Copies of this chain bind each other. A is one copy, B any other.
Amino acid sequence: MKIGFIGLGLMGQPMAGHLLKAGYELHVHDVVAASKQALVDLGAVECIDNKAVAEASDIIITMVPDTPDVQAALFSDDGVAAGLSPGKIVVDMSSISPTATTGFAERIEALGCFYLDAPVSGGPFGAINAALTIMVGGPQETFDKVLPVFEAMGKTVTLIGNRNGDGQVAKVANQIIVGITVEAVAEALLFASKAGADPQIVRQALMGGAANSIILENHGGRMLDRNFEPGFRAELQQKDLNLAMQSARELGLFLPAASAAHDMYNATRANGMDKDDHTSVLRVLESMANHQTSDGKKS
């Protein structure tokens, strides 16, 4: 089985590396020459463009930042679609719009090919350790064919539904919870601190009860250590909550906490923190609070 991999960034590079280690013949392209070269040095075959990747591969994986990047990778003149022949499988592992995904899948299927959306969660740490959560939308038969490939990169692989876009829906739902919960922990720790308690002790006490979560444990700890290295960049959390807001508009949904959190990740940019970890919302909250003393007077 020959696999193509397009998009060798912070996530794609370790994911593609696992496929090489698993023994797959791997054909790669990335617009950044150095990223491509890193995989070629590990034994991947270099392609001149995405069309060439599709021509050489049975399964073509895309792992790029956002909806327009997937559109360009698939449908530009030198894109994947131009190199496809019937029976090939396109697997988009990027986190993008569920509705745009439906359209991309239709165009790929019109060429006699198959499509899966398979976004991941777990970040670079999960990618490096082949421990990603992979949420898949598409036909069961296609899923079954690609499953061994997914299992080389992830730990929890779930076919969310048979409809293309279902994987992206699950990923957006995931990011609604993650984005809001990071904000919730930031608000709670800021509150505790400004109200005069020790936020370390408060966090420890709260970890013993219903407030506990992976985010209180991991992200909460990093907030108190003042470690804002990404991790998961605030600009990506912003992008993912923007997908939620777009879908909410399309579906006519009222998502007030997601909307409030979306605003906060927007504000990381105004504070020059959008390339830092998404826990930087804590520093945005602090920037709104730190000219105030506890009696409300200017300090």
Contact surface of A with B, Cβ cutoff 8 Å: 98, 121-123, 133, 135, 137, 155-156, 158, 160-161, 163, 165-166, 169-170, 172-174, 176-178, 180-181, 183-185, 187-192, 194-198, 201-202, 204-206, 208-216, 218, 244, 247-248, 250-261, 263-264, 285, 288-289, 292, 294, 296
Contacts and interface: CB of A to CB of B under 8 A. Distances in A.
A214 to B, nearest CB: 5
B213 A161 contact: no
Contact of A213 (B98, B166, B214): B214
Given A121-B211, A174-B205, 5 more contacts: A172-B191, A177-B185, A195-B247, A254-B288, A257-B264
B260 A256 contact: yes
Which has the most chain B C-beta neighbours within 10 Å: A160, A185, A252? A252
A197 B53 CA distance: 32
A194 B251 contact: yes
A187 B176 contact: yes
Q: How many copies does the complex hold?
A: 2
A166 B201 CA distance: 10
Given A209-B133, A211-B121, A216-B177, A257 B184 contact: yes
A197 B162 CA distance: 9
A117 B167 CA distance: 47
5 smallest beta-carbon distances between A and B, as pairs: A213-B213, A156-B208, A252-B292, A180-B184, A133-B209
Nearest to A259: B260
A163 B196 contact: yes
A155 B255 CA distance: 36
A83 to B, nearest CB: 31
Contact of A197 (B160, B248, B292): B160
A206 B289 contact: no
Dominant SS among interface residues on chain A: helix
A218 to B, nearest CB: 8
A188 B176 contact: yes
B256 A296 contact: no
Which has the most chain B C-beta neighbours within 10 Å: A121, A169, A173? A173
14 contacts: A122-B210, A156-B208, A163-B196, A166-B196, A170-B202, A173-B188, A173-B189, A173-B202, A174-B205, A177-B211, A191-B251, A251-B289, A251-B294, A260-B260
Contacts of A197: 137, 160-161, 163, 166, 169-170, 173
Contacts of A158: 201, 204-205, 208
A201 B163 CA distance: 13
Contact of A205 (B135, B189, B216, B251): B135
Contact of A285 (B169, B215, B254, B296): B254
